[in-house]
């Protein structure tokens, strides 16, 4: 019997065994690749893909292939994570504003009883006004404050020596920039804590434009009559304070936060008095 089995022709069976082995190897490789595309696989994506799915990514949780970056890749980087705070491109949208819009907002800030400033900037709040109005006010206070001091001394005694006081620049920068940044920031966190809707960019925008009237009044404060100076600065502070308080009230309408509105009004008055006492003595 063994001899009869060994005498059977086997030439037609050549290649059958390797074919089976090859199919098993292919199946093994396919199974190995399927491990990489399991959506629930806990794998670290490198390089990080912050924008979700994209070309070159293997499956839902696999590794991302290394590709040479293109200029479009850098332009399309998302800015909704912590790295966006350190990217200049994250803030370009807040400076995308033309001259006509800036002039309209400047004129609106000079109308204290309007109370509709937030509705005007709702579609496109900007930081342009915050930066340039504050910077302009810093240099105006430093220069005109020195000039007013010169005029007052010359009015009292024409022979009095006078020199430019550089400390006015430091004090103006610290006070104006500090006020325009810290006060809206404090109100933002306070309203968030009280459960009210708040937007830091809109607060910075509104408080920045509220300083416009101080630039205009600074030229009038050079008049060498103390009573007239106090009248001008009190009227300026009241106008700016009314602008801030009415717009803040319209923004948080429906919430019992009258204390916050009164505090904002008094802070603007305090700023006006500070400007008079320190720069136009």
Task: Tell me the C-alpha distance between 166 and 172, whole Å.
Answer: 10
Say if 172 falls within a structural domain: yes
Residue ranges making up the domain that contains 234: 88-107+114-280
CA distance linking residue 223 with residue 280, whole number of Å: 10
Q: Is residue 242 part of a domain?
A: yes
pLDDT at 168: 92
Residue 173 lies in a domain: yes
pTM: 0.68
What tens digit of pLDDT does each residue of 96-146 get?
889 999 999 999 999 998 888 988 898 889 999 999 999 999 999 999 998
Model pLDDT for residues 194-206, shown as the tens digit of each residue: 888 888 999 999 9
Burial of 189 (0-12, 13-18, 19+ CB in 10 A): exposed
**What is the tally of structural domains in the chain?**
1
Asked if omega into 47 is within 30° of 0 (cis), the reply is yes
Q: Is residue 5 part of a domain?
A: no
Tokens 């009237």 appear where?
213
Q: Is residue 28 part of a domain?
A: no
Please give the structure tokens belonging to residue 9. 């022709």
For residue 68, is it within any domain? no
Is 77 contained in some domain? no
The token duo for 79 is: 């800015």
Q: Do the domain assignments include residue 202?
A: yes
Model pLDDT, residue 165: 84
């Amino acid at each position: 019997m063994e001899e009869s089995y060994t005498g059977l022709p086997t030439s037609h069976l050549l290649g059958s065994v390797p074919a089976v082995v090859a199919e098993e190897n292919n199946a093994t490789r396919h199974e190995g690749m399927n491990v990489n595309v399991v959506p629930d696989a806990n794998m670290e994506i490198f390089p990080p893909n912050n924008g979700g799915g994209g070309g070159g990514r293997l499956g839902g949780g696999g590794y991302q292939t290394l590709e040479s970056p293109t200029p479009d890749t850098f332009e399309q980087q998302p800015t909704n994570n912590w790295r966006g705070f350190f990217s200049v491109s994250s803030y370009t949208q807040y400076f995308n504003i033309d001259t006509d819009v800036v002039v309209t907002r400047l004129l609106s800030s000079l109308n204290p009883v309007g109370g509709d400033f937030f509705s005007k900037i709702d579609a496109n709040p900007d930081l342009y006004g915050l930066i340039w109005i504050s910077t302009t006010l810093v240099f105006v206070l430093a220069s005109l404050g020195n000039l007013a001091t010169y005029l007052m001394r010359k009015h009292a005694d024409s022979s009095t020596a006078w020199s430019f006081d550089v400390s006015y620049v430091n004090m103006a920068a610290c006070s104006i920039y500090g006020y325009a940044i810290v006060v809206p920031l404090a109100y933002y966190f306070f309203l968030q804590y009280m459960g009210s809707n708040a937007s830091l960019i809109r607060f910075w925008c509104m408080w920045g434009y509220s300083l416009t009237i101080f630039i205009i009044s600074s030229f009038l404060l050079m008049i060498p009559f103390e009573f007239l100076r106090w009248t001008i600065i009190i009227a300026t502070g009241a106008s700016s304070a009314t602008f801030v308080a009415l717009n803040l009230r319209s923004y948080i309408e429906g919430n019992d936060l009258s204390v916050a509105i009164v505090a904002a009004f008094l802070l603007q008055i305090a700023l006006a008095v500070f400007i008079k006492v320190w720069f136009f003595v």
